[in-house]
Amino acid sequence: MDWDGTWREPPQLPRLRGDEAFRGMSGSVLDFWRFAMSDLRMNNARGYFAEYLVGRALGLEVARVEWDDFDVLWGDVKIEVKSSAYLQSWAQRRPSTISFGGLRGRRLDIEAGYVGEQTCNADVYVFAWNRQIDPEKYDPLDIGAWAFHVLPRSVLEELGYKSVGLAALSRYSKEIGFHDLREAIAAAAAR
């Protein structure tokens, strides 16, 4: 390959199933997933799972894309997904406060890097959190334990927040469950 300084998109790879074996050592992709993602309480894993939940609610079967200005693309609607939980994967004295940060970001330009002012870069923002506060009952796979708020970009821009908690979210949208996400996202996108 001759690297001449022009930007090249990475090739599309087939979606992994989990049973693929590594070359040069024993183990499979599933073994790696068990190592890296077996605890959905971890901040990164919980965030990926929240994005997955939103995609599933919208009927999408696409793989996650890293470094986009948003997390989920539904038609032409750009969706940013933020996640939180009362319970974490580490020892706690009390449940965590539900808070969502990183609402604004600079856009990534392939040539120049991060550019411009920090802005809301998605059309719709979904705030997902696991409501369980009893560590003995925590099951991230229980979709009924997840709650959501959905806001259009215009509301977040008007508020000017860099982060937001449940009290503020409750003033601007109602708490909904997984099965109401599609309708709420469509309504927010239409505003």
CB atoms within 10 A of CB 166: 17
Residue 118 resides in a domain: yes
Residue 24 resides in a domain: no
Query: Residue 90 forms beta bridges with which residues?
Result: none
* Chain segment 65-120, per-residue pLDDT in tens: 777 789 999 999 999 999 999 999 999 999 999 999 988 887 777 777 778 887 88
Number of structural domains, the chain?
1
Which of 142, 146, 154, 145 has its CA nearest to residue 187? 154
pLDDT number for residue 66: 79
Residue 8 resides in a domain: no
Residue 171 resides in a domain: yes
> By the 8 A CB rule, do 41 and 89 touch?
yes
Residue 161 resides in a domain: yes
Maximum alpha-carbon separation in the chain: 56
Residue 6 resides in a domain: no
Range of the domain at 130: 39-190
pLDDT number for residue 140: 82
pLDDT number for residue 148: 98
pLDDT number for residue 1: 65
Residues of the chain with pLDDT under 50: none
Rounded CA gap, 115 and 132, in Å?
39
Three-state SS for 58?
coil
Residue 19 resides in a domain: no
